[in-house]
Structure 1
């Protein structure tokens, strides 16, 4: 149901928008009356399923296959989006990936991979869109980070560093592109997605036990936080990181 979010009639780009958190964000934005451009990199079937679900709400929705860590592909994607839907008002940089690392063994290959997917994949869409938003006098950006960026993660050193880079980048950009463009981050904890399941049942059980709310999060709960930060309900919030983690960020 549409409300006082101020989002109706806007156009959004959601990177990594076909599955998991991205799919939930795409559907939540559609419920607010937002036209949605869904970016994905590989899974055509998932992208079409999400597009169909968004379109079923009577919302204009298109899918765009592109690697957001590749500048050329990002620029071509945005050109296509603007031709189909007009200028992008809202950006959610959700595309990302995590990889566990063997304790005490650092891999430069993994480091470069995590930085490319997570940090470059955030930088390039923001860099391509933020200036235009500022010139038009309106823009809202939410970057999906992780609580891994907010606390020690011995098995996720490269991933946590990449997500910390996302947070620092967004914080600095929030000042550069102010006052008419607001930029914030959400930092999810363990979420019930394909990526979340890759930690394995034993690690997942330990993480849930260490979470004050004693459960795994749902993609829709992250989507609610994203929509809040995009909406007029957060009109005096910029440069911040909202942890949506069942309280886990507050404990060792």
Structure 2
């Protein structure tokens, strides 16, 4: 039997990351990355082990969790190295981590905190580039995939695509408050917000397709039309 492919998911223990793990679990072996909540990672691993495999024969390990702060380049390198060491290969890297702070756009002083800008650039831009660089050799060897959330990074021999979901009602999305959530919903053409299930299904497409690269799938219920 062919060796089962391996996927690494950053920020993979809650919200969208956890749902991506669930939809990939039937036919991928998976490493979920977490920053500090080991208990949540362990709980998700228990859940994943209850999801039936598509392949009949078990391959070990099937799932694992690795702690790493993706805002630290050396930690990202270690994360990729440990994944390959434990699973023997790496075929898909889902670059899901990010950070933001909700502010009042009309209050200029709220946007003048240098630390917020630096952290936002670190987790929303640099960390994705570092992750691609760390995984590049292994993904090129496997003709692998690098689906990311809201970012497209070009690389030959690797299927690099992204998904732009708009407002998701994760912990981050709920922080906007009821009024903004209602306004965002009403602004969409379909009068609904995309769910983590919607977005995770598209990530699965990007993880498994053989002939798509350099694309950004907009999953926002028509908000940007």
* TM-score of the two chains, using structure 1 as the length reference: 0.79
Rounded to whole Å, the distance in 1 between the matches of 2:189 and 2:211 is 29
Matches within 5 A, 1:1-252: 9-31=4-26, 33-57=27-51, 60-103=62-105, 104-105=108-109, 106-107=111-112, 108-134=114-140, 136-145=141-150, 166-167=151-152, 170=153, 173=154, 177-178=155-156, 180-232=157-209, 235-250=210-225
Q: Is the 8 Å Cα contact of residues 89 and 140 (structure 1) preserved in structure 2? A: yes
| Inter-partner Cα distance in structure 2 for 1:58 and 1:94 | 24
Deviation at 1:217, TM superposition (A): 2.0
After superposition, the CA RMSD in angstroms is 1.8
Kept after mapping to 1: 8 A contact 2:102/2:175 = no
Is the 2:98–2:123 Cα contact (8 Å) retained in structure 1?
yes
Tell whether the 8 Å contact from 2:146 to 2:161 is kept in structure 1 after alignment: yes
Contact 1:13–1:92 (CA under 8 A) maintained in structure 2: yes
Secondary structure (helix, strand or coil) at the match of 1:199 reads coil
2: CA distance between counterparts of 1:10 and 1:229?
Answer: 14
How far did 1:58 drift?
5.2
How far does residue 74 in structure 1 lie from its aligned partner after superposition?
1.1
Q: TM-score, normalised to structure 2's length?
A: 0.88
Structure 1 unaligned residues grouped into runs of 5+: 1-7, 146-165
Spell out structure 1 runs of 4+ moving beyond 4 A: none
Q: Classify the secondary structure of the residue corresponding to 2:9.
A: strand
Shift of 1:196: 1.2
Q: Which runs of 5+ in 2 are unaligned?
A: 54-61
In 1, Cα distance between equivalents of 2:185 and 2:43: 30
Specify whether residues 143 and 69 from structure 1 end up closer, same or farther in structure 2 by C-alpha distance, changes over 3 A only: same
Distance in structure 2 (CA, Å) of the matches to 1:230 and 1:77: 19
Alpha-carbon contact 1:208-1:215 (below 8 Å) kept: yes
CA distance in 1 between partners of 2:162 and 2:142 (Å): 21
